[in-house]
Amino acid sequence: MIALGIETSCDETAAAIVDGDRRILSSVVASQLDRHRLYGGVVPEVAARAHLELLQGLVRQALDEARLDFDGLDLVAATAGPGLIGGVIVGSTFGKALSLARSLPFLAINHLEGHALSPRLSDNVSFPYLLLLVSGGHCQLLAVEGVGRYRRYGTTVDDAAGEAFDKAAKKLGLGFPGGPAIERAAKTGDATRFPLPRPMLGRPGCDFSFSGLKTAVAHAVDALGHAPTEPEQADLAASFQESVAASLADRTKNALRRFTDEHGSGHALVVAGGVAANTRLREVLAELARTHHTGFVAPPLALCTDNAAMIAWAGIERRILGEEDGLDVAPRPRWPLDAEAPPAPYAGAKA
Ligand code: KG4
Ligand code: ZN
């Protein structure tokens, strides 16, 4: 089974070809960073137009690199939400048109499901497993029990972890995207010089909160009375990174306990999403898994950040179960993986 995957839910335009034996025949990603950097964040309208401009060429490139033509495909899978709706409409409509023209089954994929199933593509992880999904748009702990069977243990009540990195970096004058900039600056920093709060630490449950930490960074910068010097940037970045890692690990610890109660031991802890690139976060999670006698899986970076291979793979997993979507399926700006989870506590929080 060979799938074409299409991803356009945020600021990466991506196309990939994946087969049923977990081989990624091609995976191309065009970052739109340069188009958004000017604004210090992703501008939805700019993103939608860029997807429209880039997608056709990327699909062609993905087919060429895989040495295939449309005839070689067995299905088309495109992200149909959640995300910036303009981009989601571009990608899913493109996928539908292709499936109609080529008489191929169309699979409308939940972007979060793409992330959730990616460790099965990279590491053949078996169900169930506990997933910490941390990116610019999402921050969730999910029990992944099977294809289409996800239980959300916790989500952010305000900002996503990557969003917090981006906002803190902006305040520190470190540029966009913030995560890599903070990690770089933190390398030479002293995490103890500006103690910052560690959100939700010690509280029951698995929810996250990062807006207080973001405000604390802003106050620390304002208290300096001048733009932070390079050493100050480094110290604040180190302290911030340490706080985020500690907070994520603390919430994951609660989730691991609950997961083990419900599913028994011997299952993996998986981290995915752009923030999973963070070395310090990987360290604390690996340590947490060790103390819980749990395996730890972090898919390769190219599969952690937004990509279309994970979308193609989710399409394959669904198709194997005999699924197919109609061409009338609607793109969705919000689309929680666990329909039974209560809505996030505050308006504006990520589903
Ligand atoms: O998954 P992703 O590529 O896109 C989505 O948001 O879906 O994640 C991007 C996010 C950004 O907020 C970026 O700042 C963060 O991941 N990020 C990092 C690192 N690399 C990327 N955060 C912390 N440390 C990093 N090394
Ligand atoms: Zn994502």
- Residue 308 CA: distances (Å) to CA of 8, 14, 29, 59, 145: 9, 5, 8, 10, 22
Looking at domain 127-298, its CATH superfamily turns out to be: ATPase, nucleotide binding domain (3.30.420.40)
Q: Which atom of ligand 1 is nearest to the CA of 137?
A: 6
Q: What is the pTM (predicted TM-score) of this model?
A: 0.93
pLDDT digits (tens, 9 = 90+) for 57-115: 999 999 999 999 999 999 999 999 999 999 999 999 999 999 999 999 999 999 999 99
Ligand 1 neighbour 162 (Cβ under 6 A): yes
Residue ranges, comma separated, of all CATH 3.30.420.40 domains in the chain are: 2-117+302-320, 127-298
Give the SS3 label for residue 280.
helix
Is the shortest distance between the CB of 114 and ligand 1 below 6 Å? no
Atom of ligand 1 nearest to the CA of 9: 7
Give the integer Cα–Cα distance in Å for 183 and 176.
12
**Can you give the length of the chain in residues?**
351
Q: What share of the chain is helix, strand, coil (3-state, %, to 5)?
A: 45, 20, 35
Q: What is the mean pLDDT of residues 15-19?
A: 98
pLDDT band at 37 (very low <50, low <70, confident <90, very high): confident
Ligand 1 binding pocket mutation candidate from 275, 303, 307 (most atoms within 8 A of CB): 275
Q: What is the pLDDT of residues 269-311, one digit of tens each?
A: 999 999 999 999 999 999 999 999 999 999 999 999 999 999 9
Closest residue by CA, ligand 1 atom 16: 274
Of the options 2.170.190.11, 3.30.420.40, 3.10.310.10, 3.90.600.10, the CATH number for the domain spanning 2-117+302-320: 3.30.420.40
